[in-house]
Amino acid sequence: MTAINYRTADVDGWKIFYREAGPKDAPTLLLLHGFPSAGHMFRDLIPLLADRYHIIAPDLPGFGQSDMLARGQFAYTFDHIADVIDRFTEVIALKRFAIYVFDYGAPTGFRIAAKHPGRITAIISQNGNAYAEGLSDGWTPIRAYWEDASPKNREALRAFLKPETTVWQYTHGADAAKVSPDGYSLDNFYLSRPGADEVQLDLFGDYKSNVALYPAFQNYFRTHKPPFLAVWGKNDPFFVPAGAEAFKRDIPDATVRFFDTGHFALETHAAEIASAIRDFLH
């Protein structure tokens, strides 16, 4: 059995919760989760990699077991979330590391990589987008909010926060019988906390800042060409396969692997994705 330690770090007043496993002297892999999840989404992956890698999986600010400060104390933007996680890596003394980015973890990790290219040894993107063609029509209601941040458009996005929508995100395009209820049930627990809905609506609105940074992310890829692996649930209703293929435009040697599953690909294909990562990182 893999020993996983559950820790917290004080990051400039933030309590950031994280999972840690594997030998501390092994190559480090930082796992960055997405919406509306937390580090528990990596519960199946961590034991499959911890014999060979030092694994760190934090909960992003406002998610999971990390602090969710009041919106009056902290503006929930992706710039600010990336700043906190950047500082987190420094507080726990990570010098050089690979990143595994999923969904919201991608704009978080790509910001850190572009800021500190010398610290990044490799990137694994699992349904973590950086190209306009990777965004499906499922983003239409959120785009409407970007263009007009009216109360009406904000309220319309509450549909994304409903418990049944979380379940749908996990099961759409996947073999539902293979999807454990553990992940989406815990996500819905965290989403039901007082104030969590407004935090998430703020982040929906700020997601436009990520799209605005796509050219900067792509410039980083072109300039530094980090070793890159895309592992993609090909039936994802939000981030379509064209977004995975697009990485090869800027990193021609990138490896792109598709799996017959949905957005939360680790729920059904953790073993296959772990195998691809082990082959990629060596």
Domain boundaries, the chain: 4-281
Q: Which amino acid is at 122?
A: A
Segment 274-281 mean pLDDT: 97
Segment 189-210 mean pLDDT: 98
Q: What is the pLDDT of residue 282?
A: 80
Greatest distance between any 2 Cα atoms in the chain: 52
pLDDT beyond 90 at 2: no
Give per-residue pLDDT as tens, 103-137: 999 999 999 999 999 999 999 999 999 999 999 99
Segment 1-16 mean pLDDT: 93
Give per-residue pLDDT as tens, 74-94: 999 999 999 999 999 999 999
Answer yes or no: 263 catalytic: yes
Give per-residue pLDDT as tens, 166-179: 999 999 999 999 99
What tokens does 88 get? 């987190």
pLDDT beyond 70 at 1: no
Q: How far apart are CA 282 and CA 274, in angstroms?
A: 12
Q: What is the pLDDT of residue 45?
A: 98
Going 134 to 137 to 142 to 147, the CA torsion angle's sign is positive
Cα–Cα distances (Å) from 128 to 33, 40, 109, 125, in that order, read 10, 17, 10, 5
DSSP H helical segments within 116-228, as ranges?
Answer: 140-147, 151-156, 163-171, 181-191, 196-224
Q: What φ, ψ does residue 258 adopt, rounded to 5°?
A: -105, 145
What's the number of CA atoms in the CB half-sphere (13 Å) around residue 132?
5
Looking at 224, 263, 269, 282, which residue is catalytic?
263
CATH superfamily of 4-281: Alpha/Beta hydrolase fold, catalytic domain (3.40.50.1820)
